[in-house]
Amino acid sequence: MSKALKILFVTPECAPWVKTGGLGDVSAALPQALAALEHDVKLLMPAYPALRALRDGARLLFQRPAQGHWPAARVLHAGRHDGVELLLLDCPGYYDRPGGPYEDPQGENALRFGLLSRVAAELAGGASPWREWRPDILHCNDWPTGLAPAYLQQLQPGGTRSVMTIHNLAFQGLFPLERARELELPPPWLVPDGLEYWHQLSFLKAGINFSDGITTVSPSYAREIREPASGCGFDGILRARAGRLCGILNGIDEAVWNPATDPHLPQRYDSGRLELKRVNKATLQQRFGLQEDDGALLFGLVSRLTEQKGIDLILEVLPWLLAQGGQLVVLGVGEAGLEQQLRDCAGRHPRQVAVELGFNEALAHQIEAGADAYLMPSRFEPCGLNQMYSQAYGTPPVVHATGGLADTVVDLAAAPERSSGFSFSQPTAGALQAALQRVFEAWREPAVWRGLQQRCMAQQLGWRGRAQRYVDVYRELLAA
């Protein structure tokens, strides 16, 4: 048997403690899956308020004195959770404060996430006082950890290899170039081949240029981001590093997203007892005052309300959808204009449209289970988890065939025997409406619909095989 790897996974969010989107779910499930493959995994994240109780019971690994612009900080060992050891970066002025993890009223995010990156590199590169454990792999996630591979190079890592995972290229971690000095980034790095991007400093670019390996969260997205249309200005550097870039599909945490065991559901069910699913639908209709009609096709949506997610396309086709007798339940937070438009729709059609603005984990599960079909017309989608959650819940997704959505949803018409949802190829309201027309048609044929649900639920969506792909990448890097 090959040697177990030591992996330091660094992330700005991790479920169930802190989650703003899919990165929180992946940061919980992927390290667990790696640990289940018998690797030695430690996860480093900031000690946000939600982690106070764990922080207060944690063991001190070392104290990091104030240095330059950075205040003093501590690294704590907060126990083992589902096989993964949790390391907390405690610096109360930076992290133990109200609001979401990225909220930044004082303009400190460069330093806050610079410190997270710096400490990760120090741990990985043996430059921290805690020398008992040196990882083989430093695995970084998204721009808040992007400086870590650069700092690791500075620290002469020896054998440690770094991997940068891009969960969303649209978030580049841009700051004024002048901040380089306080972040202790040497002037020779402030060039386009380093971490300069149009006279700004980009944390994500640092991660891309300085890491040993780059991954992103689906094979299609790995191809798309090498093209100008989807490259967010980074397509050039990604083409240049294409040999180091690979796409690995996200999985789902089957212990958390499983309708047979889900504690959030009024009624649990599985593919053998699909008829029970309707109890969840009725409960959802009741909760929101929608017409309690099992014959009305109920669409669900749980999402950040942003341009990325194609919410405007849904708003455009909504009058048509409602005229067909459909219903819609939305849970989300995001852009004020979209929130307002959704609220207005619900106000005009209280028996057909329900909107809850906020973050609500339990309700997210209840919508996956209670809806008949799930809407995800994203303009771009690195991977997307909700379409897979909805498949696991027998709620066929309707998606724009882009990024991970293209890799995870097989259209009913394109390949009936393998189908797992509905997809359309242009991100327009017209294309979405045409797909929805097909959804209504399939829904009217119970045998067709039931078959589709069964295929959705029979898929292997778990992390095991997908985590193994990460291990393969780690091993290739270590062998190089």
167 binds ligand GLC (CB under 6 A): yes
Number of residues that bind ligand ADP (CB under 6 A): 17
DSSP type of residue 311: H
Q: Is 300 in the site for ligand GLC (CB under 6 A)?
A: no
Q: Which of 55, 44, 194, 210 is nearest to 133 (CA)?
A: 44
Q: Collapse the DSSP code of 314 into the 3-class scheme (helix H, G, I; strand E, B; otherwise coil) and give the result.
A: helix
Q: Residue 55 and residue 74: Cα distance in Å, rounded?
A: 10
Interface with ligand GLC includes 382 (CB under 6 A)? yes
DSSP string, 72-109: PEEEEEEEEETTEEEEEEE-HHHHSSSS-TT--TTS-H
Cβ at position 385, least distance to ligand GLC in Å: 5
Strand positions, DSSP E, 65-192: 73-81, 84-90, 137-141, 161-166, 174-176
Work out whether 381 is an interface residue with ligand GLC (CB under 6 A): yes
Identify residues 204-233 at the interface with ligand GLC (CB under 6 A): 217
Question: How many CB atoms sit inside 10 A of residue 14's CB?
Answer: 27
Q: How far is the CB of 309 from ligand GLC (least distance, A)?
A: 9
Q: Mark 424-437 as b/e (b = at least 16 C-beta within 10 Å).
A: beebbbebbbebbe
Site string for ligand ADP, 245-284 (x = CB under 6 A): ----------------------------------------
Among positions 41-80, residues that touch ligand GLC (CB under 6 A) are: none
217 binds, among ligand GLC, ligand ADP, none (CB under 5 to 8 A by kind): ligand GLC
> In the set 303, 341, 419, 420, which binds ligand ADP (CB under 6 A)?
303
Place of tokens 């907060």: 78
Residue 359 near ligand ADP by CB under 6 A: yes
Q: Using CB atoms within 10 A of its CB, is residue 340 exposed (0-12), middle (13-18) or buried (19+)? A: exposed
Binding of residue 403 to ligand ADP (CB under 6 A): no
Give 287's contacts (C-beta < 8 A, 6+ positions apart): none
Of residues 239 and 287, the one with the C-beta less far from ligand ADP: 287
- Structure tokens, 435: 């797909």
Q: Is 304 in the site for ligand ADP (CB under 6 A)?
A: yes
Rounded Cα distance, 329 and 369, in Å: 12
CB of 357 to ligand ADP, least distance (A): 8
Helix or strand (DSSP H, E) at 344:
helix 336-348
Measure the CA–CA gap between 403 and 459, rounded to whole angstroms: 19
* Closest CB 180 distance from ligand ADP, rounded Å: 29
Count CB atoms within 10 A of the CB of residue 463: 23
Of all residues in the shown chain, the one whose CB is closest to ligand ADP is: 22
Assess 266 for contact with ligand GLC (CB under 6 A): no
- Per CB under 6 A, the segment of 178-186, 319-327, 355-363, 440-448 that binds ligand ADP is 355-363
Q: CB 379: neighbour CB atoms within 10 A?
A: 17
Q: Round to whole Å and give the CA distance between 219 and 388.
A: 16
Binding track, positions 327-346, relative to ligand ADP; x by CB under 6 A: ----xxx-------------
Measured from the CB of residue 369, what is the shortest distance to ligand ADP in angstroms?
A: 12
114 lies in the binding site for ligand GLC (CB under 6 A): no
The reply on whether position 120 binds ligand GLC by CB under 6 A is no
Name the CA radius of gyration of the chain, rounded: 23
- CA–CA separation, 331 vs 358, rounded Å? 7
Closest CB 167 distance from ligand ADP, rounded Å: 7
Residue 355 in the binding site for ligand ADP (CB under 6 A): no
383: contact with ligand GLC by CB under 6 A: yes
Question: At its nearest, how many Å lie between ligand ADP and the CB of residue 130?
Answer: 32
The distance of closest approach from Cβ of residue 352 to ligand ADP in the complex, given in angstroms and rounded to an integer, is 21
Asked if residue 78 lies in contact with residue 14, where contact means CB atoms within 8 angstroms, the answer is no
Closest distance of CB 285 from ligand ADP, Å: 19
Cis peptide before 16 (omega within 30 of 0): yes
**Considering the complex, what minimum distance in angstroms separates the CB of residue 232 from ligand GLC?**
12
- CA proximity to 84, closest of 33, 12, 15, 160: 33
Among 280, 341, 386, 453, binds ligand ADP (CB under 6 A): 386
Q: In terms of C-beta density within 10 A (0-12 exposed, 13-18 middle, 19 or more buried), how is residue 179 classed?
A: middle
Question: Considering the complex, what minimum distance in angstroms separates the CB of residue 21 from ligand ADP?
Answer: 3
Q: Give the one residue of 88, 208, 364, 432 binding ligand ADP; rule: CB under 6 A.
A: 364
**Candidate ranges 39-47, 62-70, 193-201, 377-385; the one touching ligand GLC (CB under 6 A):** 377-385
Residue 271 interacts with, from ligand GLC, ligand ADP, none (CB under 5-8 Å by kind): none
Contact region with ligand GLC (CB under 6 A), list: 22-30, 39-47, 105-113, 354-362 = 22-30
Catalog residues that contact ligand GLC under the rule CB under 6 A.
21-23, 26, 167-168, 217, 250, 381-385, 404
Instruction: Give the binding site for ligand ADP (CB under 6 A).
Output: 21-22, 25, 302-304, 331-333, 359-361, 364, 383-386
